[in-house]
Chain A
Amino acid sequence: MSFTDWRATLAALELFDANVRVGASGPHGALTLGADALEQELASFAITGALAAHWAGLEYDAAHGNGVLAELRRDWLTPVFAATPETLAQLERLRPRAAQLAFGALRHNFSSARWCCGELCEYLQSRRVVTVISRDDLDWEGLARLLDDFPGLPVVFVNAGYRGDRYLWPLLRRHSHLYFDTSGYLAHRQLEAFVERMGAEQAVFGSRLPLFTPAAALATLLSARMSDAQRRAVAGGNLRRLLAEVQA
Protein backbone atom coordinates (compact mmCIF):
# COMPACT_ATOMS: atom_id res chain seq x y z
CA MET A 1 0.00 0.00 0.00
CA SER A 2 1.35 3.44 -0.87
CA PHE A 3 0.89 6.69 1.00
CA THR A 4 -2.03 7.72 -1.20
CA ASP A 5 -4.02 4.75 -2.42
CA TRP A 6 -6.06 4.32 0.77
CA ARG A 7 -8.30 7.08 -0.49
CA ALA A 8 -9.31 4.94 -3.44
CA THR A 9 -11.13 2.62 -1.08
CA LEU A 10 -13.25 5.49 0.19
CA ALA A 11 -15.19 5.98 -3.02
CA ALA A 12 -16.86 2.60 -2.71
CA LEU A 13 -18.38 3.62 0.62
CA GLU A 14 -20.61 6.37 -0.86
CA LEU A 15 -19.81 8.66 2.03
CA PHE A 16 -22.32 11.14 3.40
CA ASP A 17 -21.07 13.48 6.11
CA ALA A 18 -23.43 14.29 9.00
CA ASN A 19 -21.36 17.03 10.59
CA VAL A 20 -20.22 19.95 8.43
CA ARG A 21 -20.42 23.73 8.80
CA VAL A 22 -20.08 26.25 6.05
CA GLY A 23 -19.35 29.97 5.79
CA ALA A 24 -17.55 32.51 7.91
CA SER A 25 -17.09 32.13 11.65
CA GLY A 26 -15.91 34.59 14.25
CA PRO A 27 -13.81 32.34 16.47
CA HIS A 28 -12.82 29.88 13.74
CA GLY A 29 -12.07 32.34 10.96
CA ALA A 30 -8.72 30.85 9.97
CA LEU A 31 -10.21 27.42 9.36
CA THR A 32 -13.57 28.16 7.86
CA LEU A 33 -14.46 27.26 4.28
CA GLY A 34 -16.94 28.63 1.81
CA ALA A 35 -19.17 26.28 -0.13
CA ASP A 36 -16.79 25.87 -3.06
CA ALA A 37 -13.72 25.21 -0.92
CA LEU A 38 -15.72 22.86 1.25
CA GLU A 39 -16.83 20.98 -1.84
CA GLN A 40 -13.20 20.51 -2.87
CA GLU A 41 -12.23 19.30 0.59
CA LEU A 42 -15.10 16.82 0.69
CA ALA A 43 -14.31 15.59 -2.81
CA SER A 44 -10.69 14.96 -1.85
CA PHE A 45 -12.00 12.32 0.55
CA ALA A 46 -14.65 11.01 -1.87
CA ILE A 47 -17.42 12.39 0.34
CA THR A 48 -20.37 12.90 -1.97
CA GLY A 49 -22.92 14.48 0.33
CA ALA A 50 -23.08 16.41 3.57
CA LEU A 51 -25.43 17.86 6.12
CA ALA A 52 -24.15 21.41 6.42
CA ALA A 53 -25.13 24.07 8.91
CA HIS A 54 -24.11 27.71 8.51
CA TRP A 55 -21.88 29.26 11.15
CA ALA A 56 -23.86 32.50 11.01
CA GLY A 57 -27.03 30.65 11.91
CA LEU A 58 -25.36 29.24 15.01
CA GLU A 59 -23.11 32.10 16.08
CA TYR A 60 -25.18 35.14 15.11
CA ASP A 61 -28.84 34.82 14.20
CA ALA A 62 -30.79 31.74 13.22
CA ALA A 63 -33.03 33.46 10.66
CA HIS A 64 -30.14 35.33 9.05
CA GLY A 65 -28.04 32.18 8.80
CA ASN A 66 -30.97 30.25 7.38
CA GLY A 67 -31.41 32.87 4.69
CA VAL A 68 -27.75 32.67 3.68
CA LEU A 69 -27.79 28.89 3.78
CA ALA A 70 -30.91 28.70 1.62
CA GLU A 71 -29.06 30.50 -1.14
CA LEU A 72 -26.22 27.95 -1.17
CA ARG A 73 -27.59 25.54 -3.71
CA ARG A 74 -25.20 22.65 -4.24
CA ASP A 75 -25.96 19.08 -5.20
CA TRP A 76 -23.86 17.72 -2.34
CA LEU A 77 -25.22 20.03 0.34
CA THR A 78 -28.25 19.26 2.45
CA PRO A 79 -28.87 22.43 4.47
CA VAL A 80 -29.22 22.10 8.21
CA PHE A 81 -31.37 25.06 9.11
CA ALA A 82 -31.20 26.56 12.57
CA ALA A 83 -34.44 25.91 14.44
CA THR A 84 -35.59 28.25 17.19
CA PRO A 85 -39.08 29.06 18.43
CA GLU A 86 -38.94 32.27 16.37
CA THR A 87 -37.86 30.59 13.11
CA LEU A 88 -40.76 28.16 12.99
CA ALA A 89 -42.59 30.19 10.36
CA GLN A 90 -39.41 30.49 8.30
CA LEU A 91 -38.87 26.73 8.56
CA GLU A 92 -42.42 26.08 7.39
CA ARG A 93 -41.58 28.07 4.25
CA LEU A 94 -38.16 26.45 3.73
CA ARG A 95 -39.48 22.90 4.25
CA PRO A 96 -36.11 21.65 5.56
CA ARG A 97 -34.96 18.06 5.37
CA ALA A 98 -32.59 18.74 8.27
CA ALA A 99 -32.51 21.22 11.15
CA GLN A 100 -30.37 21.94 14.17
CA LEU A 101 -31.55 22.59 17.70
CA ALA A 102 -28.87 24.64 19.45
CA PHE A 103 -30.27 24.88 22.97
CA GLY A 104 -27.01 26.01 24.58
CA ALA A 105 -26.88 29.22 26.55
CA LEU A 106 -24.17 30.56 24.25
CA ARG A 107 -26.10 29.51 21.15
CA HIS A 108 -29.84 29.96 20.85
CA ASN A 109 -30.45 29.73 24.56
CA PHE A 110 -33.79 28.00 24.98
CA SER A 111 -34.97 24.99 26.89
CA SER A 112 -35.23 21.49 25.50
CA ALA A 113 -38.29 20.92 27.69
CA ARG A 114 -41.67 20.54 26.05
CA TRP A 115 -43.04 23.70 27.68
CA CYS A 116 -40.48 25.72 25.73
CA CYS A 117 -39.69 23.89 22.50
CA GLY A 118 -42.82 21.76 22.18
CA GLU A 119 -44.40 23.46 19.17
CA LEU A 120 -41.09 23.56 17.30
CA CYS A 121 -40.27 19.92 17.98
CA GLU A 122 -43.80 18.82 17.14
CA TYR A 123 -43.34 20.43 13.72
CA LEU A 124 -39.97 18.73 13.16
CA GLN A 125 -41.35 15.43 14.39
CA SER A 126 -44.46 15.66 12.22
CA ARG A 127 -42.30 15.84 9.10
CA ARG A 128 -39.58 13.51 10.44
CA VAL A 129 -37.00 16.24 9.83
CA VAL A 130 -33.47 14.98 10.55
CA THR A 131 -32.70 16.96 13.70
CA VAL A 132 -29.08 17.63 14.60
CA ILE A 133 -28.20 18.38 18.21
CA SER A 134 -24.66 18.93 19.44
CA ARG A 135 -23.40 17.60 22.73
CA ASP A 136 -22.15 21.15 23.29
CA ASP A 137 -25.77 22.31 23.43
CA LEU A 138 -27.50 19.59 25.43
CA ASP A 139 -26.47 17.35 28.30
CA TRP A 140 -27.33 13.66 28.48
CA GLU A 141 -30.27 14.15 30.84
CA GLY A 142 -31.76 16.77 28.54
CA LEU A 143 -31.30 14.50 25.57
CA ALA A 144 -33.00 11.62 27.38
CA ARG A 145 -35.99 13.82 28.20
CA LEU A 146 -36.27 15.13 24.66
CA LEU A 147 -36.19 11.63 23.21
CA ASP A 148 -38.94 10.54 25.61
CA ASP A 149 -41.04 13.58 24.74
CA PHE A 150 -40.70 13.23 20.97
CA PRO A 151 -40.47 9.54 20.12
CA GLY A 152 -40.88 10.16 16.40
CA LEU A 153 -38.17 12.80 16.07
CA PRO A 154 -35.05 11.48 14.30
CA VAL A 155 -32.17 12.95 16.31
CA VAL A 156 -28.55 12.92 15.17
CA PHE A 157 -26.45 13.69 18.25
CA VAL A 158 -23.13 15.13 17.09
CA ASN A 159 -19.86 15.92 18.85
CA ALA A 160 -20.60 13.39 21.57
CA GLY A 161 -16.89 12.58 21.75
CA TYR A 162 -15.48 9.29 22.97
CA ARG A 163 -16.13 9.38 26.71
CA GLY A 164 -19.92 9.08 26.67
CA ASP A 165 -20.63 5.39 26.09
CA ARG A 166 -22.11 4.87 29.55
CA TYR A 167 -24.79 7.39 28.57
CA LEU A 168 -24.91 6.87 24.83
CA TRP A 169 -25.37 3.14 24.62
CA PRO A 170 -28.37 2.92 27.02
CA LEU A 171 -30.04 5.80 25.20
CA LEU A 172 -29.47 4.14 21.83
CA ARG A 173 -30.94 0.89 23.16
CA ARG A 174 -33.98 2.75 24.46
CA HIS A 175 -34.56 5.01 21.44
CA SER A 176 -34.32 3.65 17.93
CA HIS A 177 -34.76 7.21 16.60
CA LEU A 178 -31.44 8.32 18.12
CA TYR A 179 -28.25 8.36 16.03
CA PHE A 180 -24.77 9.67 16.72
CA ASP A 181 -21.96 10.89 14.51
CA THR A 182 -18.52 9.33 14.51
CA SER A 183 -16.39 12.48 14.24
CA GLY A 184 -15.13 12.22 17.80
CA TYR A 185 -15.80 8.55 18.40
CA LEU A 186 -12.10 7.85 18.44
CA ALA A 187 -11.30 5.72 21.44
CA HIS A 188 -9.38 2.51 20.82
CA ARG A 189 -11.52 0.08 18.81
CA GLN A 190 -14.61 1.95 20.02
CA LEU A 191 -16.50 2.02 16.74
CA GLU A 192 -15.63 -1.61 16.10
CA ALA A 193 -16.87 -2.63 19.56
CA PHE A 194 -20.01 -0.57 19.10
CA VAL A 195 -20.94 -2.28 15.85
CA GLU A 196 -20.16 -5.71 17.29
CA ARG A 197 -22.45 -5.21 20.27
CA MET A 198 -25.04 -2.68 19.11
CA GLY A 199 -25.18 -3.08 15.34
CA ALA A 200 -24.44 -0.46 12.70
CA GLU A 201 -27.86 1.14 12.31
CA GLN A 202 -27.48 4.09 14.67
CA ALA A 203 -23.99 5.33 13.81
CA VAL A 204 -23.47 7.90 11.06
CA PHE A 205 -20.17 9.10 9.69
CA GLY A 206 -19.32 12.71 10.51
CA SER A 207 -16.15 14.72 10.02
CA ARG A 208 -16.64 18.03 11.83
CA LEU A 209 -15.30 19.88 8.83
CA PRO A 210 -13.94 22.50 8.52
CA LEU A 211 -12.39 22.37 12.00
CA PHE A 212 -11.29 18.74 11.84
CA THR A 213 -9.97 16.75 8.94
CA PRO A 214 -12.18 13.85 7.83
CA ALA A 215 -9.04 11.69 7.74
CA ALA A 216 -9.23 10.58 11.37
CA ALA A 217 -12.88 9.47 11.36
CA LEU A 218 -12.50 7.88 7.92
CA ALA A 219 -9.40 5.92 8.90
CA THR A 220 -11.20 4.74 12.01
CA LEU A 221 -14.16 3.58 9.91
CA LEU A 222 -11.93 1.88 7.36
CA SER A 223 -9.83 0.02 9.89
CA ALA A 224 -12.68 -1.23 12.08
CA ARG A 225 -13.57 -4.87 11.70
CA MET A 226 -17.16 -5.03 10.47
CA SER A 227 -18.98 -6.31 7.43
CA ASP A 228 -18.96 -4.33 4.20
CA ALA A 229 -22.70 -3.75 4.57
CA GLN A 230 -22.24 -2.37 8.08
CA ARG A 231 -19.40 -0.11 6.93
CA ARG A 232 -21.50 1.29 4.09
CA ALA A 233 -24.40 1.84 6.47
CA VAL A 234 -22.25 3.94 8.80
CA ALA A 235 -20.51 5.68 5.90
CA GLY A 236 -23.71 7.06 4.46
CA GLY A 237 -26.48 4.51 4.13
CA ASN A 238 -28.09 5.24 7.47
CA LEU A 239 -28.19 8.98 6.90
CA ARG A 240 -29.51 8.67 3.35
CA ARG A 241 -32.30 6.45 4.67
CA LEU A 242 -33.20 9.03 7.29
CA LEU A 243 -33.30 11.80 4.71
CA ALA A 244 -35.48 9.69 2.45
CA GLU A 245 -37.98 9.34 5.28
CA VAL A 246 -38.50 13.10 5.67
CA GLN A 247 -42.08 14.04 4.87
CA ALA A 248 -42.36 16.57 2.08
Chain B
Amino acid sequence: MTPAPFRAPVPIVDCHGHLGVHPDFPAYKTEPEEMLEVMDALNIERLAITSTLACYSDAPRGNAEVAACLARHGDRFLGYVTVNPHPRGEAVRELERWADWHRPPLIKMHPDLHQAPVEAAGYRPVWEYADANGGIVLVHTWDSDGNCGPLRLLPIARAYPGARIILGHSGVTWRGYEQAMVVARQAPNTYLDLSGSQAHRGILERCVAEVGAERILFGSDMPYLEAAAPLGRVLAAQLPEAAKTLILRGNFCRLLGEAAA
Protein backbone atom coordinates (compact mmCIF):
# COMPACT_ATOMS: atom_id res chain seq x y z
CA MET B 1 0.00 0.00 0.00
CA THR B 2 2.44 2.60 -1.15
CA PRO B 3 1.94 5.61 -3.33
CA ALA B 4 3.50 5.59 -6.76
CA PRO B 5 6.44 7.99 -7.02
CA PHE B 6 4.90 11.41 -6.94
CA ARG B 7 6.62 14.18 -5.09
CA ALA B 8 7.50 17.81 -5.54
CA PRO B 9 11.10 18.33 -6.63
CA VAL B 10 11.46 21.30 -4.29
CA PRO B 11 10.14 21.64 -0.73
CA ILE B 12 6.78 23.36 -0.93
CA VAL B 13 5.65 26.16 1.33
CA ASP B 14 1.87 25.98 1.05
CA CYS B 15 -0.17 29.15 1.58
CA HIS B 16 -3.61 27.61 2.04
CA GLY B 17 -4.47 24.91 4.54
CA HIS B 18 -6.98 24.21 7.26
CA LEU B 19 -7.36 22.49 10.57
CA GLY B 20 -10.61 20.65 11.16
CA VAL B 21 -13.52 19.12 9.29
CA HIS B 22 -16.59 20.42 7.44
CA PRO B 23 -20.33 19.80 7.55
CA ASP B 24 -21.27 18.86 4.03
CA PHE B 25 -19.30 15.70 3.33
CA PRO B 26 -17.24 13.22 5.32
CA ALA B 27 -13.69 14.24 6.17
CA TYR B 28 -10.81 11.83 5.87
CA LYS B 29 -7.43 11.84 7.63
CA THR B 30 -7.69 15.33 9.05
CA GLU B 31 -5.61 14.98 12.21
CA PRO B 32 -2.40 17.04 12.05
CA GLU B 33 -0.30 13.89 12.27
CA GLU B 34 -2.18 12.40 9.30
CA MET B 35 -1.70 15.62 7.38
CA LEU B 36 2.02 15.49 8.14
CA GLU B 37 2.21 12.04 6.54
CA VAL B 38 0.76 13.47 3.34
CA MET B 39 2.99 16.53 3.54
CA ASP B 40 6.05 14.32 3.90
CA ALA B 41 5.01 12.18 0.94
CA LEU B 42 4.42 15.17 -1.33
CA ASN B 43 7.37 17.21 -0.02
CA ILE B 44 5.32 19.97 1.55
CA GLU B 45 7.75 21.48 4.01
CA ARG B 46 5.30 23.82 5.71
CA LEU B 47 1.58 24.51 5.52
CA ALA B 48 -0.17 27.71 6.60
CA ILE B 49 -3.42 26.70 8.29
CA THR B 50 -6.65 28.36 9.27
CA SER B 51 -9.21 26.86 11.60
CA THR B 52 -12.24 25.51 9.78
CA LEU B 53 -14.27 25.85 12.99
CA ALA B 54 -13.33 29.52 12.97
CA CYS B 55 -14.37 29.88 9.34
CA TYR B 56 -17.79 28.44 10.14
CA SER B 57 -18.84 29.21 13.70
CA ASP B 58 -16.42 30.11 16.46
CA ALA B 59 -13.28 32.08 15.72
CA PRO B 60 -11.85 32.28 19.26
CA ARG B 61 -12.20 28.54 19.87
CA GLY B 62 -10.97 27.71 16.38
CA ASN B 63 -7.93 29.94 16.66
CA ALA B 64 -7.14 28.27 19.98
CA GLU B 65 -7.12 24.91 18.18
CA VAL B 66 -4.57 26.31 15.73
CA ALA B 67 -2.48 27.51 18.68
CA ALA B 68 -2.48 23.99 20.10
CA CYS B 69 -1.37 22.59 16.75
CA LEU B 70 1.40 25.17 16.46
CA ALA B 71 2.57 24.25 19.94
CA ARG B 72 3.03 20.64 18.81
CA HIS B 73 4.18 21.14 15.23
CA GLY B 74 5.41 24.70 14.96
CA ASP B 75 8.16 23.66 12.59
CA ARG B 76 5.66 22.41 9.99
CA PHE B 77 2.61 24.63 10.33
CA LEU B 78 2.10 28.37 10.19
CA GLY B 79 -1.06 29.85 11.67
CA TYR B 80 -3.54 32.27 10.13
CA VAL B 81 -5.63 34.15 12.66
CA THR B 82 -9.18 33.73 11.39
CA VAL B 83 -11.44 36.72 11.94
CA ASN B 84 -15.22 36.94 12.14
CA PRO B 85 -16.48 40.45 11.33
CA HIS B 86 -19.74 40.14 13.26
CA PRO B 87 -19.04 40.04 17.03
CA ARG B 88 -18.20 43.61 17.94
CA GLY B 89 -14.46 44.01 18.57
CA GLU B 90 -13.72 40.30 18.34
CA ALA B 91 -11.63 40.41 15.17
CA VAL B 92 -8.99 42.80 16.50
CA ARG B 93 -9.03 41.07 19.88
CA GLU B 94 -8.17 37.81 18.12
CA LEU B 95 -5.43 39.46 16.07
CA GLU B 96 -3.86 40.86 19.25
CA ARG B 97 -4.39 37.64 21.19
CA TRP B 98 -2.39 35.62 18.68
CA ALA B 99 0.04 38.32 17.55
CA ASP B 100 3.03 36.14 18.41
CA TRP B 101 2.19 33.47 15.82
CA HIS B 102 3.99 35.18 12.98
CA ARG B 103 5.32 38.56 11.96
CA PRO B 104 4.09 39.77 9.59
CA PRO B 105 0.68 38.54 10.76
CA LEU B 106 -1.20 35.92 8.77
CA ILE B 107 -4.91 36.69 8.67
CA LYS B 108 -7.78 34.67 7.22
CA MET B 109 -11.17 36.00 6.09
CA HIS B 110 -14.02 33.80 4.87
CA PRO B 111 -16.65 36.32 3.76
CA ASP B 112 -18.74 33.58 2.16
CA LEU B 113 -19.21 31.48 5.29
CA HIS B 114 -19.43 34.54 7.56
CA GLN B 115 -21.86 36.12 5.10
CA ALA B 116 -20.33 39.56 5.12
CA PRO B 117 -18.83 41.46 2.18
CA VAL B 118 -15.10 42.13 2.29
CA GLU B 119 -15.80 45.84 2.66
CA ALA B 120 -18.18 45.33 5.62
CA ALA B 121 -17.68 47.59 8.61
CA GLY B 122 -16.66 44.63 10.74
CA TYR B 123 -13.73 43.90 8.44
CA ARG B 124 -12.50 47.52 8.33
CA PRO B 125 -10.35 47.36 11.48
CA VAL B 126 -8.84 44.13 10.17
CA TRP B 127 -7.82 45.80 6.92
CA GLU B 128 -6.40 48.71 8.90
CA TYR B 129 -4.44 46.30 11.09
CA ALA B 130 -3.11 44.44 8.05
CA ASP B 131 -2.22 47.70 6.32
CA ALA B 132 -0.28 48.92 9.33
CA ASN B 133 1.52 45.63 9.97
CA GLY B 134 2.21 44.31 6.50
CA GLY B 135 -0.32 41.58 7.10
CA ILE B 136 -0.76 38.67 4.71
CA VAL B 137 -4.52 38.31 4.31
CA LEU B 138 -5.90 35.15 2.77
CA VAL B 139 -9.44 35.86 1.55
CA HIS B 140 -11.75 33.16 0.26
CA THR B 141 -12.97 34.25 -3.17
CA TRP B 142 -15.58 32.79 -5.49
CA ASP B 143 -16.47 33.95 -8.98
CA SER B 144 -18.95 36.84 -8.79
CA ASP B 145 -20.03 36.18 -5.20
CA GLY B 146 -21.66 39.20 -3.60
CA ASN B 147 -19.46 38.92 -0.53
CA CYS B 148 -16.14 37.81 -1.96
CA GLY B 149 -16.03 37.93 -5.75
CA PRO B 150 -12.44 38.75 -6.70
CA LEU B 151 -13.34 42.14 -8.15
CA ARG B 152 -14.50 43.31 -4.73
CA LEU B 153 -10.89 43.10 -3.57
CA LEU B 154 -9.56 45.68 -6.04
CA PRO B 155 -10.72 48.80 -4.13
CA ILE B 156 -9.68 47.13 -0.88
CA ALA B 157 -6.18 46.46 -2.18
CA ARG B 158 -5.87 50.06 -3.31
CA ALA B 159 -7.18 51.44 -0.02
CA TYR B 160 -4.81 49.32 2.11
CA PRO B 161 -1.55 49.09 0.14
CA GLY B 162 0.39 47.77 3.14
CA ALA B 163 -1.71 44.62 3.23
CA ARG B 164 -0.66 41.69 1.05
CA ILE B 165 -3.85 40.06 -0.14
CA ILE B 166 -4.02 36.45 -1.31
CA LEU B 167 -7.08 35.83 -3.47
CA GLY B 168 -7.97 32.41 -2.10
CA HIS B 169 -8.76 29.94 -4.90
CA SER B 170 -8.37 32.80 -7.42
CA GLY B 171 -12.14 32.87 -7.77
CA VAL B 172 -12.33 29.09 -8.47
CA THR B 173 -14.19 29.12 -11.80
CA TRP B 174 -12.70 30.10 -15.15
CA ARG B 175 -14.56 33.42 -14.90
CA GLY B 176 -13.39 33.78 -11.31
CA TYR B 177 -9.79 33.36 -12.43
CA GLU B 178 -10.32 35.99 -15.12
CA GLN B 179 -11.60 38.38 -12.46
CA ALA B 180 -8.72 37.54 -10.13
CA MET B 181 -6.26 38.31 -12.91
CA VAL B 182 -7.91 41.70 -13.45
CA VAL B 183 -7.31 42.47 -9.79
CA ALA B 184 -3.75 41.17 -9.79
CA ARG B 185 -2.84 43.20 -12.87
CA GLN B 186 -4.07 46.41 -11.26
CA ALA B 187 -3.08 45.94 -7.62
CA PRO B 188 0.53 44.91 -6.99
CA ASN B 189 -0.23 43.85 -3.42
CA THR B 190 -2.49 41.00 -4.53
CA TYR B 191 -1.58 37.37 -5.21
CA LEU B 192 -3.27 34.39 -6.83
CA ASP B 193 -3.75 31.11 -4.93
CA LEU B 194 -3.94 27.86 -6.92
CA SER B 195 -6.06 25.87 -4.50
CA GLY B 196 -9.52 24.88 -5.68
CA SER B 197 -11.68 22.09 -6.95
CA GLN B 198 -11.63 23.03 -10.64
CA ALA B 199 -8.51 22.10 -12.61
CA HIS B 200 -8.97 24.39 -15.61
CA ARG B 201 -6.76 23.35 -18.48
CA GLY B 202 -4.19 26.01 -19.27
CA ILE B 203 -5.23 28.47 -16.57
CA LEU B 204 -1.90 28.40 -14.75
CA GLU B 205 0.03 29.21 -17.91
CA ARG B 206 -2.44 32.00 -18.58
CA CYS B 207 -2.00 33.42 -15.08
CA VAL B 208 1.77 33.45 -15.46
CA ALA B 209 1.47 35.21 -18.80
CA GLU B 210 -0.95 37.78 -17.43
CA VAL B 211 0.46 38.60 -13.99
CA GLY B 212 3.87 36.91 -13.79
CA ALA B 213 4.99 33.83 -11.90
CA GLU B 214 6.04 36.01 -8.94
CA ARG B 215 2.41 36.66 -8.05
CA ILE B 216 1.18 33.07 -7.93
CA LEU B 217 1.21 30.93 -4.80
CA PHE B 218 0.83 27.20 -4.33
CA GLY B 219 -2.17 26.42 -2.15
CA SER B 220 -3.61 23.02 -1.42
CA ASP B 221 -6.63 23.66 0.84
CA MET B 222 -5.57 20.54 2.76
CA PRO B 223 -7.34 18.76 4.45
CA TYR B 224 -10.39 20.01 2.62
CA LEU B 225 -9.05 19.33 -0.86
CA GLU B 226 -6.37 16.97 -2.16
CA ALA B 227 -2.91 18.54 -2.15
CA ALA B 228 -1.61 16.30 -4.91
CA ALA B 229 -4.10 17.84 -7.36
CA PRO B 230 -2.66 21.37 -7.53
CA LEU B 231 0.83 19.90 -7.36
CA GLY B 232 0.05 17.88 -10.46
CA ARG B 233 -1.21 21.02 -12.18
CA VAL B 234 2.04 22.82 -11.43
CA LEU B 235 4.28 19.94 -12.42
CA ALA B 236 2.44 19.41 -15.70
CA ALA B 237 2.25 23.09 -16.64
CA GLN B 238 4.11 24.34 -19.70
CA LEU B 239 6.30 26.69 -17.67
CA PRO B 240 10.02 27.08 -16.96
CA GLU B 241 11.26 25.24 -13.89
CA ALA B 242 12.28 28.55 -12.31
CA ALA B 243 8.67 29.72 -12.49
CA LYS B 244 7.44 26.50 -10.91
CA THR B 245 9.94 26.85 -8.08
CA LEU B 246 8.72 30.36 -7.38
CA ILE B 247 5.12 29.15 -7.30
CA LEU B 248 5.79 26.14 -5.10
CA ARG B 249 8.06 27.88 -2.63
CA GLY B 250 9.80 31.12 -3.40
CA ASN B 251 6.87 33.48 -3.58
CA PHE B 252 5.29 32.60 -0.26
CA CYS B 253 8.71 32.58 1.42
CA ARG B 254 9.22 36.11 0.11
CA LEU B 255 5.87 37.22 1.53
CA LEU B 256 6.73 35.65 4.86
CA GLY B 257 9.97 37.62 4.92
CA GLU B 258 12.20 34.59 4.53
CA ALA B 259 14.89 33.58 2.10
CA ALA B 260 13.55 30.85 -0.18
CA ALA B 261 16.55 28.54 0.04
Set of chain A residues within 8 Å of B1, measured between Cβ atoms: 225-227
Q: Does B202 contact A (CB under 8 A)?
A: yes
Contact of B223 among A165, A189, A225, A226 (CB under 8 A): A189
A41 to chain B, nearest CB (A): 8
Stretch at the interface among A119-127, A205-213, A239-247: A205-213
What are the residues of chain B within 8 A of A162 when measuring CB–CB?
A: 25, 197, 225
Rounded to whole angstroms, the CA-CA distance of A224 and B235 in the bound complex is: 17
Across-interface contacts of A188 in B (CB, < 8 A): 27-30, 38, 221-227
> In the assembled complex, which residues on chain B have CB atoms less than 8 Å from the CB atom of A218?
232
Q: Known: A3-B235, A31-B202, A217-B199. Contact between A187 and B5, CB under 8 A?
A: no
Q: Contact: A164 with B25, CB < 8 Å? A: yes
> Which of B8, B197, B200, B235 has a CB less than 8 Å from the CB of A186?
B197
Interface centre among A6, A165, A188, A192, by most chain B C-beta atoms within 10 angstroms, is A188
Does any Cβ of B come within 8 Å of A163's Cβ? yes
Contact of B226 among A2, A212, A220, A227 (CB under 8 A): A220
Contact A189 B226 (CB under 8 A): yes
The residue in chain A whose Cβ has the minimal distance to the Cβ of B222 is A188
Q: Mark A45-67, 1 if CB is under 8 A from B, else 0.
A: 10000000000000000000000
8 A Cβ contacts from B221-261 to A:
221-233, 235-237, 241, 244
A213 CA to B200 CA, complexed, in Å: 6
Contact A213 B226 (CB under 8 A): no
A-B contact pairs, 5 of them (CB 8 A): A1-B8, A1-B9, A9-B6, A166-B25, A213-B233
Within 8 A of A (CB), among B35-64: 38, 41-42
- Which A residues are in CB contact (< 8 Å) with B41? 223
List residues of chain A with CB within 8 A of the CB of B7: 1, 6
Does B232 lie within 8 Å of A187, measured CB to CB?
A: no
Having A186-B229, A213-B200, A215-B235, one finds 11 other A-B pairs with CB under 8 Å, namely A1-B8, A163-B25, A186-B225, A187-B225, A188-B221, A188-B224, A189-B38, A210-B201, A216-B232, A219-B231, A223-B228
- Decide if B9 touches A2 in the complex (CB within 8 Å): yes
Q: How far is the CB of A246 from chain B (nearest CB, A)?
A: 30
Task: Tell me the bound Cα distance from A218 to B30 in angstroms.
Answer: 22
**A70 CA / B201 CA spacing, docked (Å):** 26
Q: Please name all residues of chain B whose beta carbon is closer than 8 Å to the beta carbon of A40 when the two chains form the complex.
A: none
B186 at the interface (CB under 8 A from A): no
CB distance from A160 to the nearest CB of B (A): 11
| Separation of A189 and B36 alpha carbons in the complex (Å) | 13
- B227 pairs with A212, CB closer than 8 A: no
**Total count of chain B residues near the partner, CB < 8 A:** 44
Judge whether A220 and B229 touch: CB under 8 Å: yes
Q: Is B209 interfacial (CB 8 A cutoff)?
A: no
Residue in A closest to B42 when the chains form the complex, CB atoms: A223
Residues on A with C-beta less than 8 A from B100 are none
Residue B4 is within 8 A (CB to CB) of chain A in the complex: yes
User: Is the CB–CB distance between A186 and B226 below 8 Å?
Assistant: yes
Is there a chain A Cβ closer than 8 Å to B26's Cβ?
yes
CA distance A42 to B2 in the complex (A): 26
Report B154 CB to chain A, min CB distance, Å: 24
Tell me if A118 counts as interface (CB < 8 A to partner B). Answer: no
Task: Give the top 5 A-B pairs by smallest Cβ distance, nearest first.
Answer: A219-B232, A216-B199, A215-B236, A223-B228, A216-B229
B24 interface residue per 8 A CB criterion: yes
CB distance from B113 to the nearest CB of A (A): 15
* Cβ 8 A contact of A209, one of B29, B30, B201: B201
How many angstroms between the C-alpha atoms of A209 and B200 in the bound complex? 9
How far is it, in angstroms, between the C-alpha of A193 and the C-alpha of B28 when the chains are bound? 7
**Is A211 a contact of B28 with CB atoms below 8 Å?**
no
Q: Which of B52-91 contact A (CB under 8 A)?
A: none
- Whether a CB of chain B sits under 8 angstroms from the CB of A176 is no
- B25 with A1: CB separation less than 8 A: no
Known: A186-B226, A190-B28, A224-B3. Contact between A219 and B235, CB under 8 A? yes
**Complex Cα gap A164–B235 (Å):** 28
Q: Which of A2, A45, A166, A212 contacts B199 (CB 8 A)?
A: A212
Contact indicator A223/B225 (Cβ below 8 Å): no
B200 engages A211 (CB within 8 Å): yes
**Does chain A have a CB within 8 A of B133?**
no
Pick the contact of A215: B224, B227, B232 (CB < 8 A). Answer: B232
Q: Give the shortest distance, in Å, between B7 (CB) and chain A (any CB).
A: 5
- Residue B115 lies at the interface, judged by CB distance under 8 Å to chain A: no
The answer to whether A189 and B25 have CB atoms under 8 Å apart is: no
Cβ contact of A9, chosen from B4, B222, B233, cutoff 8 A? B4
